[in-house]
Amino acid sequence: MMSNTLSFSFVLIICVAALHANGSPEEARFREFVRSRRSSTVTVSGSNGYSAHEPGARVSSRLQEEYSVSDQSNLKAADKITALPGQPKGVGFNQYGGYVTVDEMNGRALFYYFVEATTDAAAKPLLLWLNGGPGCSSVGYGAMIELGPFRINSDNKTLSRNEYAWNNVANVLFLESPAGVGFSYSNTSSDYDKSGDQRTANDSYIFLVNWLERFPEYKGRAFYISGESYAGHYAPQLAATILTHNMESKRMIINLQGILVGNPCLDEFKNLKGQIDYLWSHGVISDEVLANITKNCRFSPSDGKACSDAMDAFDSGNTDPYDIYGPVCINAPDGKFFPSRIVPGYDPCSNYYIHAYLNNPVVQKALHARVTTWLGCNGDLDSVCPLTATRYSVGDLGLAVTEPWRPWTANREVGGYVQQYTGGLVFISVRGAGHQVPYFQPEKALIVVSSFLRGALPPYVKQQ
């Protein structure tokens, strides 16, 4: 059973406009999702299966059907990755990749990429990472441009080490979920029309139970769920499913210790209101646009076409809402990509490198993935799941403050701000980051996750 659950939020603290017409597929997928939800008044799951109004989308609790634990013997050895193509020399940690079947009848299988800790893996916790979207790849984004051990170089062929990889402090498991995302698949095409939060949580739980049979040394290990964006839905619902089944004596006990979610999209209406307030306060939208939105939108399920049209008045521009100050990727006439300006540790063209690398059949074979066409999607500089929206959602909980708002530091500079509430909820901002915090501010993200795993708040070091 879980003894102490902490919930962290990555949010951001500086702002305003980088002109950008080519954001990442993950960013575009979420923006498309927000727009489609905004223009719809349907109160049940649509063709994409995602709806905050359907009862099953609220909290996964108990699996509706019995599931089986399949024989996992000898599969761990088969999943071990010798080396990834272009991998630098001197890699001393183990890597694994492969599939776990979660529905034998339909042939539904989820792909994973697992990297053990760089040192003392046997003593370090197990951390699951889920990208958002909904429907974006944890291997492509989480592992390859955010918190994984490698970054793909601009030649699309070689890798370099990520100094601030999270496997410095944990054993990290990247899960492609639901089926149809990244390398995960189903042999039953109708499965792709039925993906929803409920089934995503159930499939992820079945994946974990079977994966732990494949890697039995991690049974009972301290386990944490982490993610970003739409993982604000995925992570809590998976946690609820785990805790419910932990109470059944015949089930495997998954030693869940906490949840960490960056830039979480928790409540779509609070998110929309927070987005508008954030953009207006940072000069991205005019007083007239704000007045039109305020007139036509109540930020509730009753909002209709007039609200959608008012929102589209700002949504059709070319400002990147995921990092409103960041450099952009420019597509040159010769077909090459290059950043508009250099920011150490951040390359806005990384999405193009990922697409080329993960669609290389040699890379797919090394990962033990099916040879197929990989698609990426089937901070305070982030305005789509902004700091304001998260603060509105936290405020709705009505929790008492146990640790007042204070700065935390990275290299003796303010890294952001932190506040703790009753029940173990912690709100953290990361200064100068965009939507994908480990991508924009990798060192600060590592400080936050290291503190989280120790059960501590990020440090504050006074200037001497």
- How sure is the predictor about 44, in pLDDT bands with cuts at 50, 70 and 90? very low
Q: What percent of the chain has pLDDT over 70?
A: 69
Pick the more confident residue, 445 or 26. Answer: 445
Q: Which amino acid is at 162?
A: N
The answer to whether 328 and 20 have CB atoms below 8 angstroms apart is: yes
Average of pLDDT values for 137-163? 95
- How sure is the predictor about 146, in pLDDT bands with cuts at 50, 70 and 90? very high
Average of pLDDT values for 290-304? 79
319, HSE (Cβ side, Cα atoms, 13 Å): 21
Model confidence at 380: pLDDT above 60: no
Q: Which of 229, 350, 383, 429 is catalytic?
A: 229
Tokens (6 digits) for 87: 């991998």
The answer to whether 364 and 355 have CB atoms below 8 angstroms apart is: no
Pick the more confident residue, 384 or 298. Answer: 298
Q: What is the largest CA-CA distance in the chain?
A: 64
Please give the pLDDT value at position 359: 97
| In-domain check, residue 354 | yes
| In-domain check, residue 441 | no
- Residue 160 annotated to the active site: no
| In-domain check, residue 310 | no
Please give the pLDDT value at position 371: 93
Model confidence at 448: pLDDT above 90: yes
Q: Which of 204, 382, 383, 393 is catalytic?
A: 382
Pick the more confident residue, 402 or 8. Answer: 402
Model confidence at 241: pLDDT above 80: yes
Please give the pLDDT value at position 231: 82
Please give the pLDDT value at position 424: 84
- Residue 316 annotated to the active site: no
Average of pLDDT values for 65-81? 86
Tokens (6 digits) for 63: 């699996």
Query: Interior CA angle at 125 toward 430 and 229, to 5°?
Result: 35
Please give the pLDDT value at position 232: 82
- Provide the residue count of the chain: 464
- Greatest mean pLDDT range, 24-33, 168-177, 233-242: 168-177
- Residue 320 annotated to the active site: no
* CA atoms of 224 and 268, how far apart (whole Å): 25
Please give the pLDDT value at position 84: 98
Average per-residue pLDDT for the chain: 78
**Integer-rounded Cα radius of gyration of the chain:** 21
Q: Can you give the residue range of the structural domain that contains 354?
A: 18-268+348-367
Residue position matching structure tokens 């040394």: 217
Reference 435, options 21, 31, 90, 4; nearest CA is 31
- How sure is the predictor about 333, in pLDDT bands with cuts at 50, 70 and 90? low
Please give the pLDDT value at position 134: 78
Q: Which of 20, 245, 282, 435 is catalytic?
A: 435
| In-domain check, residue 231 | yes
- How sure is the predictor about 408, in pLDDT bands with cuts at 50, 70 and 90? very high
Q: What percent of the chain has pLDDT over 90?
A: 42
Question: 4-17: per-residue pLDDT in tens?
Answer: 444 433 332 222 22
Reference 191, options 346, 47, 18, 53; nearest CA is 47
Average of pLDDT values for 392-397? 69
Phi-psi region of 423 (alpha: psi -120 to 50; beta: other; left: phi over 0): left
Please give the pLDDT value at position 267: 60
Average of pLDDT values for 44-61? 39
| In-domain check, residue 156 | yes
Question: 18-41: per-residue pLDDT in tens?
Answer: 222 334 555 555 455 555 555 554
Q: Which of 245-259, 290-304, 446-460 has the lowest mean pLDDT?
A: 290-304
Please give the pLDDT value at position 92: 95
| In-domain check, residue 64 | yes
CATH code assigned at 262: 3.40.50.1820
What total number of domains does the chain contain? 1
Model confidence at 3: pLDDT above 90: no
| In-domain check, residue 192 | yes
Model confidence at 192: pLDDT above 60: yes
| In-domain check, residue 33 | yes
Reference 256, options 7, 447, 34; nearest CA is 7
> Which residues are CB-contacts of 311 (< 8 A; sequence separation ≥ 6)?
38, 272, 276, 293, 297
Please give the pLDDT value at position 286: 77
